[in-house]
A and B are shown apart, each in its own frame.
Chain A
Amino acid sequence: MKIHFVRSGGFGGAATRVEGDVSLDDHGAQVISEKAGYQRPLAASEAAMLRCAAEPKPKSKNNLPKAAAMPDGYQYDISTVTDDGKVHHLASLSDTANTSSRTPEEEELFKWVQQESERIWDYKINHR
């Protein structure tokens, strides 16, 4: 299974865009950002959280009203590619002051993607 994530938006728009891929298979788990030249093996706890979060869910899982995006906040788009090759859009999560619009699972996934995006960006700018 693979997870693909993209950070977009922010005041700088396309200038601060980040994307990465997580591969979860029998050989282990790692996150890669080819454009940034970044690679990191995942801890077992991270891999477990991501495997759980990446399982396609029924659309009615989250009935919470969607919070408005904050102007110039970041947007995180997360999709999965399951073993049968199908692409599933998992979530589009925005920086928002109203975190109650996210389920606990989404919040955990959001924080991981947010932090990993920062790590990739930090690596990218320091290895230019």
Chain B
Amino acid sequence: MCKHVGCSSIFCILPPRVLLNIAQNGNEDQRSFALQALSLDHSLRTSRLTFSLLGGLQVSHESLTAAPPQKQRLIYDTQQSETLPGNLVRSEGGAAVADASVNQAYDGLGFTFDFYYAAYQRNSIDNAGLTLKATVHYSKKYDNAFWNGQEMIFGDGDGVIFNGFTSSVDVIGHELTHGVTGSEANLNYQGQSGALNESISDVFGSLVKQFSANPKQTADKADWLIGDNLLAKGINGIALRSMKAPGTAYDDKVLGKDDQPADMKNYVHTAEDNGGVHTNSGIPNRAFYLVASNIGGFAWEKAGQIWYDTLTDPRLKRNADFSTFANLTVLNASHRYGGGSEAKAVSDAWNQVGVKIKKS
């Protein structure tokens, strides 16, 4: 790691988290040396920070030299039209308004920002303090939420099958995480790379929910459900997806049956849904649940850290498949925690879901 002249040895043996703290809080000399040491660590390459989902937004990585990050949230209302972004109805620091959806979106963005910063020292979606934008009341009775490359958009739900899509904090975390993925590995939204993209959003969406719960939830206390507040009363289902038991979340005469597989032998080959990205995400979802349950404690601390290290690993390419991703999670687990129980938990999990670990 210390290949450059002028790197003080103490800064070369300190772990990255300590170096980050020094870079943010030390005196001028200390910050300079810490930044130099960090620049030698591959993890700083997360600062490539390119949104290429829809033509890109390149932002320089300034968070290490800036003051502690402040979240900036803007909530818009399209009033059931589809003209984005809509009217600005609440901005950072503004008081709660009468509209519950606006407040839910505002709070959910805040929880997600706080989670990423507390857990991984990430300053917003792009790690450079990007303003978080969300639009609520999109279209009429719209049963969906999505990320358009620049902001999150939430429908109200129809009220019969679905409640409003701001009602579940994991949905908000899921959508924001698409932005994080876009600024990091930018996994192609197709086939296995797309299913990984989806799974990563479910993973961190669930972790946001666990982190923002009061009290915070350990892996064994978490429900590992995605969108459990979305389904209206009378629907035969507990959520839209279950990371713990893919394929069991719902079985309803309108929704049909949850089609997620829990392992590779049930992988679904389809051209629909960009190659089944919302279906086959069940496989890496379960792998993460198994890792988190095996390690125990708060899932964002070790399991989530391994997944975050992998998402921000420059070796994770846009067209990565499950096997390649699995290999990187094992490598990152070993890199951060040594070749002990954490790395074993990761490789065991992938074995259980039938994903072969592809050695690079």
Interface set of A (CB-CB < 8 Å, partner B)? 6, 8-17, 67-75, 77, 92, 94-98, 121-122, 124-126, 128
Nearest A residue to B144 by beta-carbon distance? A10
CB-CB under 8 A for A12 and B272, given A69-B189, A70-B149, A125-B161? no
CB A14 to nearest CB in B, in angstroms, measures 4
Chain B contact residues (Cβ within 8 angstroms of A): what range?
A: 35 or more
Interface set of B (CB-CB < 8 Å, partner A)? 53-55, 141, 143-150, 158, 160-162, 165, 171, 174-175, 178, 189-190, 197-198, 201, 227, 230, 240-241, 250, 253-256, 258-260, 271-274, 277-279
Q: How far is the CA of A70 from the CA of B138 in the complex (A)?
A: 16
Q: How far is the CA of A103 from the CA of B293 in the complex (A)?
A: 49
Q: How far is the CA of A120 from the CA of B227 in the complex (A)?
A: 23
Nearest A residue to B158 by beta-carbon distance? A125
Q: How far is the CA of A11 from the CA of B147 in the complex (A)?
A: 10
8 A-B contact pairs sorted by A residue (CB < 8 Å): A10-B146, A11-B174, A12-B230, A13-B260, A14-B256, A15-B256, A95-B146, A96-B54
Nearest B residue to A72 by beta-carbon distance? B146
CB A128 to nearest CB in B, in angstroms, measures 5
Interchain CB contact under 8 A, A15 and B240: yes
Interchain CB contact under 8 A, B254 and A128: yes
> Contacts of B274 on A, CB cut-off 8 Å?
9, 69, 75, 94
Q: How far is the CA of A74 from the CA of B178 in the complex (A)?
A: 15
CB A10 to nearest CB in B, in angstroms, measures 5
Q: How far is the CA of A98 from the CA of B148 in the complex (A)?
A: 10
CB-CB under 8 A for A72 and B147, given A77-B272, A124-B254? yes
CB-CB under 8 A for A9 and B147, given A98-B55, A125-B158, A125-B160? no
Interchain CB contact under 8 A, A92 and B277: no
CB A88 to nearest CB in B, in angstroms, measures 15
A15-B250, A95-B146 are known contacts; what are 9 more A-B pairs with Cβ within 8 Å?
A11-B144, A13-B273, A15-B256, A67-B54, A72-B147, A73-B146, A77-B271, A77-B272, A122-B158
